[in-house]
Amino acid sequence: MKIIIDEELNNSSKFVIEEYIPMKIVLDETEEPIDYFSYSKGKKSLLEIAVGVNSGRIKKVTLLMSEDYTICDKKICMIDVPCESANIKVMDYITIECEKFSTELFEDALRILLSNKNVTRYVKMGRLCIGMSNGNEIIEICVMGLSNEESNHVKNELNFQ
């Protein structure tokens, strides 16, 4: 998979509350055909990413299910890693079967871990932060600033999946 960091800022992101879907973030509602790739672990953990066919931009990130999840009664603590505001373009994407796939719901954020590798930088797109490895792999997805309604929705959908 080829990841390109686009310096053009995207400060918009919308958390969509949808029945049976723990988390859906819409980043770009521009009219464009979309294609999907996903991260999964077995048949019980699945994260889907929608990418614009022409632009390559990430348009939506959807957590459909997560077998391994933790609910924490504390605020998220982001490690001291550089963070830049930009867009991510994804080219030559493939579906990835993860060795690790876990979800952590905090009072104010949701973190989805997709690898045991270390995050070397974050790319921030609105409320969505994507943790990247040295090799420009997506290894973590964070949704920051969850409201009580959003947090309760995620918790309920994870519990009832």
The model carries a pTM of 0.92
Q: How high is the pLDDT of residue 11?
A: 64
Residue-level pLDDT at 9 = 64
Within 8 A by CB and 6+ apart from 55, the residues are: 28, 30, 32, 89
Q: What is the pLDDT of residues 18-45, one digit of tens each?
A: 999 999 999 988 899 999 999 999 999 9
How many angstroms separate the CA atoms of 70 and 128, rounded? 19
> What number is the average pLDDT over the span 102-129?
94
Q: Residue 106 — very low, low, confident or very high, per pLDDT cuts 50/70/90?
A: very high
